[in-house]
A and B are shown apart, each in its own frame.
Chain A
Amino acid sequence: GENVEQHPSTLSVQEGDSAVIKCTYSDSASNYFPWYKQELGKGPQLIIDIRSNVGEKKDQRIAVTLNKTAKHFSLHITETQPEDSAVYFCAARYTGRRALTFGSGTRLQVQP
Chain B
Amino acid sequence: NAGVTQTPKFQVLKTGQSMTLQCAQDMNHNSMYWYRQDPGMGLRLIYYSASEGTTDKGEVPNGYNVSRLNKREFSLRLESAAPSQTSVYFCASSEVGGDNEQFFGPGTRLTVL
Of all chain B residues, the one with the shortest Cβ separation from A91 is B43
The answer for the CA separation of A97 and B90 in the assembled complex, in Å, is 19
Is there contact, CB below 8 Å, between A104 and B90? no
The answer for the CA separation of A102 and B59 in the assembled complex, in Å, is 11
How many residues from A make CB contacts under 8 Å with B? Answer: 24
Residues of A close to B90: CB separation below 8 A: 43-44
How many residues from B make CB contacts under 8 Å with A? Answer: 26
Is there contact, CB below 8 Å, between B98 and A42? no
The answer for the CA separation of A89 and B14 in the assembled complex, in Å, is 31
Chain A to chain B contacts (Cβ below 8 Å), 28 pairs: A9-B40, A32-B99, A34-B101, A42-B106, A43-B4, A43-B90, A43-B92, A43-B104, A43-B107, A44-B90, A93-B98, A93-B99, A97-B98, A98-B48, A98-B56, A98-B97, A98-B98, A99-B48, A99-B98, A100-B45, A100-B98, A101-B59, A102-B35, A102-B42, A102-B44, A103-B42, A104-B40, A104-B41
The answer for the CA separation of A6 and B58 in the assembled complex, in Å, is 20
Is there contact, CB below 8 Å, between A31 and B99? yes
